[in-house]
Chains A and B, each alone.
Chain A
Amino acid sequence: MVGNSFRGGVHPKECKERSRDVPLRSADPKGDLVFLLGQHIGTPARPVVKKNDPVLAGQILAEADGFVSAHVICSCSGTVKALEKRRTVSGRMMDCIVIQNDGEYRCTGNWDKRDEFTALRTEEILSRVKAAGIIGLGGAGFPTHVKLAPKNPQAIRYVIVNGTECEPWLTCNDQLMRTNAAEIADGLEVMLALFPNAEGVVCIEDNKPEAAAAMQKAVSGRQKMRVQVLPTKYSQGGEHSLIRVISGIDYPADMLPADVGCLVDNVGTVYAIGRAVLYGEPLLSHVMTVSGDAVSHPGNFWVREGTGFRDLLEAAGGLKEGAEPKKILAGGPMMGIAMGSLDVPVQRNNNGLTLLLTDDNEAAEKQATACLRCGRCLPTCPAGLLPQMMAAAYEAGDLDRFEKKLYGMECVLCGSCTFICPAKRPLTQMFRQAKAEIQTARRIRAAGGEK
């Protein structure tokens, strides 16, 4: 049975047919691997290796620094080539550790012996998750061992496993659920051990019937967990959207999911938690989709962290004959990041590489007209905001109205309003800018207050 949907949302072309049935395979890179120290939310990790040190896959390259931080773990064997700034997905130069890959992928362990987790105490489970260097693979990259330790574990009522994959083009989580359903259920079982009052809910959109069936089979017979099939609609996989659907609660941006008794993790993260706690395996690789109309053989891959995007594209057979992509995206077209170059490393929270022959944004700039006030953007907002008015306030320079009267800081930048706008106005782009300006002003105020 298909469950309820969240309010709002849009239906972009799914574009999943090219890669949805291509099984996962590993894409081992030949070139150097580059590891960012600060790809997770929180303090960047502190390097514990020096130049020319030999390293193995599974070895810690940089340790978590402070409470909200995560280890950086090497995903290949070789030697440390450099500790330097490298260009990253976002286009910024950031501190990285560069490993010269010897191509042998020797590991620090075998990770094939399964522990019985029921004997483990909470602290032990959390420390194994932390040691594995797991961060949220869905996008934000929040350190998972921190997320799994809320103030009051008793109050968590739902552990939501996000297998919705509502982003167009991407199909890697679909494949992961089809092939590794049992491990995902294991991971969920481990998580539920931390929260005595919680129910595990695996959420899958109804465009992935095979994955839903596989997960259904995997959870049957296990305690306190179920599969919830949801209608296919973009931004279904947003944290707020899922919590609204499963628990019925809308909560503001300044509250955490745990404050309303929920916890959301991507299927990939849950899989990694299972591997880490039961087998002690660190997070070396995660699933990604390489797709787009410019790619010759789109597919789904196990990708080692630090792999260059160019190596990843080669694994998918490179570009189509004569294709010249206009736009390359880390992720999908709704929330992905446009990259200026393929020569940047894959981060743990990247879930796809999409190469597109056409750029809708370029076309949109030509078609743009004044705002018609048609109001189409309003019902698409998953948070119930008023994008038309927010844009007008921003353009009028009235950030005060944007923030206080229109609750602009609640915007999750899902892009639905911009997608639907017939006047092709860059709404999400304005909101991103407005939010940044307001946050800067807040920081300045806070700093001024301390003096």
Chain B
Amino acid sequence: MSTAYNLSASPHTRDGLTTQRIMWTVVAALAPVTIMGVWYYGFHAFLVLLVSVATAVASEYAFCMFCRKPVTISDGSAVITGLLLALSLAPSVPLYVPLCGSMFAILVAKCCFGGLGKNFINPALAGRCFVLISFSSTVSSYKVDGITSATPMMTMRAGRAVSITQMFLGRTNAVIGSCILALLIGGLALWVLDIINGDIVLSVLISFTIFLVVFGGQGVDPKFLLAHLCGGGVMMGAFFMATDYTTSPVTRPGRILYGALIGILGAMFRVFSSVPDAFSYSIIISNLFVPLIDIFVVPKPYAYRKEAMALQRGEPKKNLLQRIPVPVMVLAVITLVSGFALSGVFTMTKSTIEEQKLLANSASYQAVIPAAQTFETDDDLERLLSEVGGDVYGSDFGRVTINSAVAGKDADGCLAGTAISVTSAEGFDGDITLTVGIDPEGRVTGISFTALNETPGMGMRADEPAFKDQFAGKKVDAFVLNGKTESDANIDSVSGASTTSGAVVNAVNAALDFYRMAKGGTQP
């Protein structure tokens, strides 16, 4: 019998889970959102993904060869970085964007700091920030079919509602990895498989939500909160980026603290700043706190904790209530009290705020329906608003949203006209919001702008009577810009501002269409 037995210190058995298997499981978990992204955004999105992943892997390979280090690409971590970077880019970016981003992510953020397990910020996010700063206008323009338009986050910032269903299905104009459903499937699978840490995910999402409830100005409004949770990379951040092993703390209290930091920073940027990519920054900033957290948040072993030491001294065991530390109880009471106070204040002021809004709009309502004395909500209009409000209104009118619709009543309480507020996202320089007045016969009584930020001397001239008054007093199915044949429907463009004029005409047509639907007609 040969006696060349292996000698080694215990333990002599190991679990089957390896670094490689973890990384490839994460890649698999990203597959649903990747597939959804390519399916919805098309071939160019696929190219962006391909370039990003290939560059990431090639960069790591090149770095390892250059430094004469063992090649580590088979562990799959570079693939994850490439994937995450591409998923957080707009589908329409030129291919040099993922190329540069991936190279920066792998070479600078990861390899230069020691590679896997040593980098201090999330490489994918570092790469994303790098391209955001380097090619800011290219990267932040989101195009669908060649037309630049607003992302759900931009729409929300403009104070308008977005469709949560569309966000859930990833059918919005956002980054490649924007399908919330697919992200949730992958993320929850990783959670169930114990690959990612649920403490961090929960901590991020809960603190983000709490901050929005308290400071978001809408209280506990599920639609508002859901829209924020589904937009702007919160889900991808919480499940796939905040949970990155290397750039998150290792202890449980540390992880909860870290998650809370991300959530609060993310929500704070959402509420108080105008940066659209705030959630990435909140994760990166929190990454920087990780070494600090790992130094100061070090839980003691069980035997050295207060409770255990009391038991060691033979003191009787405390009951559950006594075991809750006093500061925790105090904090809980403060939180409860201030929570109630805040929600109380919000409910009390809510109606006042509504009135203010109505008052601000009433000037424009009045301008388009001079005959009206009061403006009221109308059941038919409200029902239709709740169905289509917030969504892009049909495809025939460009990216147009119906904001509100009210019925104007004259002194006798009879219907004097309907005022409909519409926003088009296709102005030359941002959103155009206008109110259209329509009398009971379906005749346009006038239009009035509430938001117009076009080029002075050009697009801004849309607000001059020469253009505006072309709509008044006409009863048509739809207006036509610079029509060839002689017709009531023809509108002459403001010279040198065809984009603005087109957006206005589309907005008015959308209002007319909405009005017809509300009055029982069908959409043409």
Contacts and interface: CB of A to CB of B under 8 A. Distances in A.
B117 A168 contact: no
Nearest to B14: A360
Nearest to A11: B15
A360 B12 contact: yes
Contact of B18 (A251, A340, A383, A422): A422
Contacts of B304: 252, 407
Contact of B312 (A249, A379, A383): A249
B10 A415 contact: yes
B21 interface: yes
B298 A406 contact: yes
A405 B250 contact: no
Nearest to A169: B13
Nearest to A326: B6
B8 A250 contact: no
A363 interface: yes
Interface in B58-110: 72, 75
B250 A373 contact: yes
A314 B5 CA distance: 18
Contacts of B272: none
* Most chain A CB inside 10 Å of its own CB: which residue of B13, B72, B300: B13
Contact of A428 (B11, B75, B116, B246): B11
Interface residues of B, number: 49
Contact of B116 (A329, A369, A407, A420): A369
Contacts of B8: 327, 338, 359, 361-362, 429
B26 to A, nearest CB: 11
Nearest to A426: B9
A361 B12 contact: yes
B2 to A, nearest CB: 7
Contacts of A229: none
A388 B251 CA distance: 9
B339 interface: no
A220 interface: no
B118 A370 contact: yes
A328 interface: yes
Interface in B207-252: 245-246, 248, 250-252
Contact of A250 (B116, B303, B314): B303
Contacts of B118: 370
Given A250-B303, A386-B251, A334 B7 contact: no
A240 B72 CA distance: 40
Contacts of B312: 249-252, 255, 259-260
B11 A418 contact: yes
A369 B301 CA distance: 27
Most chain B CB within 10 A, of A255, A337, A341, A375, is at: A375
A328 B5 contact: yes
A335 to B, nearest CB: 5
Contacts of A91: 7
Given A374-B22, A375-B251, A386 B299 contact: yes
B311 A424 contact: no
Given A250-B308, A326-B5, A384 B17 contact: no
A336 interface: yes
B303 A252 contact: yes
A373 B246 contact: yes
Nearest to A335: B10
A364 interface: yes
Interface string B112-140: 00111110000000000000000000000
A299 to B, nearest CB: 20
What is the predominant secondary structure among interface residues of chain B facing chain A? loop
Contacts of A363: 14
Interface string B5-42: 11111111111011111100000000000000000000
Interface in A313-372: 319, 324-329, 333-342, 356, 359-364, 367, 369-372
Nearest to B197: A375
Nearest to A259: B312
Nearest to B12: A333
B317 to A, nearest CB: 6
Contacts of B314: 261
Contacts of B395: none
Q: Most A CB atoms within 10 A — which of B9, B298, B308?
A: B9
A410 B117 contact: no
Interface in A236-276: 240, 244, 248-253, 255, 259-261
A22 interface: no
B308 A249 contact: yes
A305 B35 CA distance: 66
A316 B245 CA distance: 47
Contacts of B323: none
A439 to B, nearest CB: 16
Contact of B5 (A334, A341, A361, A369): A341
Contacts of B12: 327, 329, 333-334, 336, 338, 356, 359-361
Interface string A421-441: 111101011001000000000
B28 to A, nearest CB: 16
B248 A373 contact: yes
Contacts of A364: 14
Interface in B268-282: none
A10 interface: yes
A361 B14 contact: yes
A11 to B, nearest CB: 9
A383 B9 contact: no
Contacts of B116: 369-370, 372
A253 B18 CA distance: 32
A12 interface: yes
Nearest to B3: A341
A30 interface: no
Contact of B3 (A340, A361, A426): A340
29 contacts: A7-B302, A12-B15, A13-B13, A324-B2, A327-B12, A333-B12, A333-B13, A338-B5, A338-B12, A341-B3, A369-B72, A370-B117, A370-B118, A372-B19, A372-B246, A373-B248, A375-B245, A375-B251, A379-B252, A405-B298, A407-B300, A407-B301, A410-B301, A410-B303, A413-B10, A419-B14, A419-B15, A422-B19, A424-B18
| Shortest Cβ-Cβ A-B pairs, 5 listed | A415-B11, A384-B302, A250-B302, A333-B13, A370-B117
Given A250-B301, A369-B19, A369-B72, 15 more contacts: A248-B311, A328-B5, A334-B10, A334-B11, A342-B3, A359-B12, A367-B20, A369-B75, A372-B245, A372-B246, A383-B302, A384-B303, A386-B251, A389-B294, A419-B14
